Amino acid sequence: MLKQTIAGEIIALHEFLAGWLNGTLSNDDTLFAQHLESRLAPGFINVQPSGAVLESADLLRQIRGGYGLSPEFNIAIRNVVVRKEFGEGLTLATYEEYQRGAKNSAPKNARLSSVLMRPCDGMADWYSIHETWLPDDKHAAQHFDF
């Protein structure tokens, strides 16, 4: 059950990101706040595949400003694994993220991400995401057929 909850949360957030960045969602501050801002816990950080560390305000500014800039953008999430449960529902999970069609990234890229989150009330508080490029053998064409 925990794996389904975590996987559902990861997929929901990335579906929002894809819809936001490809412009298929409404460019609405309330929608943005509900589906992204409200999920990031105080002190949230994102370690990008390049090694850059973004705090929530920087990440939110970048994503907010990217609305509709990548009309062909899409994301697929695969291989969600719950790695460790800590006290009070804090959970560490990993997942593979496949992206295609991003304007500011390789046309097809794949990353292994780890997330520290606490699921609650149908959503989750996200504390940290650490993304690492997956090796080239994961970039086979069949991984981008979504």
* pTM of the entire predicted model: 0.93
Q: What pLDDT sits at residue 123?
A: 78
Domains, in order of start, for the chain: 2-144 (3.10.450.50)
Per residue in 106-136, pLDDT tens?
Answer: 778 899 999 999 988 777 899 999 999 998 8
Q: Percentages helix, strand, coil for the chain, rounded to the nearest 5? A: 35, 40, 25
What is the pLDDT confidence band of residue 92, given thresholds at 50, 70 and 90? Answer: very high
Q: In the predicted model, is pLDDT for residue 142 greater than 90? A: no
DSSP code per residue over 36-99 = TGGGEEEEEEEE-TTS-EEEHHHHHHHHHHTTTS-TT-EEEEEEEEEEEE-GGG-EEEEEEEEE
